[in-house]
């Protein structure tokens, strides 16, 4: 594979910002949206365990229900696609078995050959001290997916806005998540910026590279 040209990558990252006003008339093309869904599927995670789900909301009626519990932010309704990022509430032996079965299927190996790997995950995530904070562990994995999604969208010239300004419990209720084993963590509208969004023209504020990166 030829890597993306460095200037194009940096241009895309400088171009992106947390879009405050979306153009409700513009929709993301189907092929580009499929690519962005694949970027979510391909997100790396600890152990490769993927403790997440992603709900894509395009129904105007459902968006209208979610807006009031999203601090009434207009992006919820005006975006092309709204992605709700869900984290696993717990990790159990059943989750490990499901992942081992999938790994065996994809790689064409017997599940028994992965017993050592399963045991390592079991001792860490299910029976180890990390299990006491497993919800926080899962949340950190989901934020990797959010970051990858926004970066990939920028490379396609698609705007996004990461949102924690919402009521997770209300989202869970509206989306029918009770008993699913997943909880709402964040949301990310995606689409195209409105020409009237003044924030698109503001310089990006970041610390100097030497202030945040140390060479040793």
Distance CA 47, CA 96 (A): 10
- Mapped onto helix, strand or coil, the DSSP state of residue 183 is strand
- Tens-digit pLDDT profile for residues 156-186: 999 999 999 999 999 999 999 999 999 999 9
Task: Read off the pLDDT of each residue in 65-69 and give the average, rounded to a whole number.
Answer: 98
The token pair at 129 is 């001290």
Task: Select 6-208's CATH number: 1.10.287.130, 3.30.70.1290, 3.40.109.10, 3.30.70.520.
Answer: 3.40.109.10
Q: Using one digit for the tens of pLDDT, what is the confidence trace for 187-209?
A: 999 999 999 999 999 999 999 99
| CA distance between the termini of the chain | 31
Closest CA to 57 of 80, 35, 82: 82
Give the C-alpha distances (Å, rounded to integers) separating 91 from 112, 117, 136, 213: 21, 15, 11, 34
Domain positions in the chain:
6-208
Query: In this structure, which long-range contacts are made by residues 65-69, counting pairs with CB atoms below 8 Å and at least 24 apart in sequence?
Result: 65/174, 66/166, 66/171, 66/174, 66/187, 69/166, 69/167, 69/170, 69/171, 69/174
- pLDDT category of residue 3 using cuts at 50, 70 and 90: low
Going by C-alpha positions, the residue among 35, 150, 154, 49 that lies closest to residue 98 is 49
Confidence of residue 1 (pLDDT cuts 50, 70, 90): low
Read off the pLDDT of residues 104-159 as tens digits, 9 standing for 90 and up.
Answer: 999 999 999 999 999 999 999 999 999 999 999 999 999 999 999 999 999 999 99
DSSP secondary structure letter of residue 89: S
pLDDT over 70 percentage in the chain: 98
């Amino acid at each position: 594979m030829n890597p993306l040209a460095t200037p194009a990558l940096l241009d895309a990252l400088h171009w992106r910002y947390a879009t405050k006003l979306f153009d409700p008339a513009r929709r993301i093309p189907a092929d580009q949206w499929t690519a962005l869904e694949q970027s979510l599927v391909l997100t790396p995670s600890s152990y490769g365990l993927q403790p997440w789900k992603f709900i894509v909301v395009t129904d105007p009626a459902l968006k209208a229900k979610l807006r009031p519990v999203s601090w009434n932010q207009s992006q919820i309704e005006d975006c092309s696609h709204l992605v709700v990022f869900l984290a696993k509430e717990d990790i159990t032996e059943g989750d490990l078995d499901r992942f081992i079965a999938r790994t065996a299927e994809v790689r064409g190996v017997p599940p028994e050959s992965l017993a050592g790997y399963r045991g390592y995950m079991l001792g860490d995530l299910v029976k180890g001290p990390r299990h006491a904070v497993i919800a926080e562990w899962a949340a950190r994995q989901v934020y990797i997916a959010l970051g990858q999604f926004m970066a990939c969208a920028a490379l396609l010239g698609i705007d996004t806005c990461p949102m924690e300004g919402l009521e997770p419990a209300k989202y869970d209720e509206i989306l029918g998540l009770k008993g699913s084993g997943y909880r709402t963590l964040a949301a990310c509208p995606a689409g195209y910026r409105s020409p009237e969004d003044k924030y698109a023209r503001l310089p990006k504020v970041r610390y100097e590279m030497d202030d945040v990166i140390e060479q040793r």
